Amino acid sequence: MHDRLLGTSLPTVAALAYLGDARHALFVRRMLVDSGICKSGELNEAALKFVTAEAQANMMRKIEPMLLEDEREVYKRAANSGHLNKPRHASAADYRAATGFEAVIGMLEWIGDGERLDVLLRAAHEE
């Protein structure tokens, strides 16, 4: 395991994904407000383009080559965790990748590695 995790007790991958979902949503909301969108309805509509399982799976594919060993391990554990439910509008593969994406983001938030979190979120959102 990577040195930055030594002595750190991580929550379950489900809990990391839950935390990562919230942290990613905050990143998206800040990005959209920074873009100059002012109306809440427009902000919510724009945010939907970034928080779907399909969108997050595509972001994961962008950043996967950048993952460090511990991030890759968390991604794999989350993506392979037994999902009983998936959104109606997502493939099983996209749902697994999105869960892995959220878990990696959640892990970085949990351990307080804001610099690495910023690098990966910015890379995930590059066009």
Q: For residue 9, what pLDDT band results from cuts at 50, 70 and 90?
A: confident
Q: Could you tell me the pTM of the whole model?
A: 0.89
CA angle 15, 68, 122 (to 5 degrees): 75
12-124: CATH topology is Ribonuclease iii, N-terminal Endonuclease Domain; Chain A (1.10.1520)
pLDDT of residue 2: 56
Mean pLDDT of 87-111: 91
Asked if residue 12 lies in contact with residue 102, where contact means CB atoms within 8 angstroms, the answer is: no
Interval 53-83: pLDDT, tens: 999 999 999 999 999 999 999 999 999 987 6
Residues 6+ apart with CB under 8 A from 50: 24, 28, 56, 125
| Active site positions, annotated | 21
Residue 46, both tokens? 């724009």
Count the residues in the chain: 127
pLDDT of residue 1: 47
> In 59-93, which positions are buried (b, 16+ CB within 10 angstroms) versus exposed (e)?
bbeebeeebeebbebbbebbbeeeeeebeeebeee
| DSSP-derived secondary structure for 86-109 | --TTS-HHHHHHHHHHHHHHHHHH
Does position 107 have pLDDT exceeding 90, yes or no? yes
User: 């892990």: which residue's tokens?
Assistant: 107
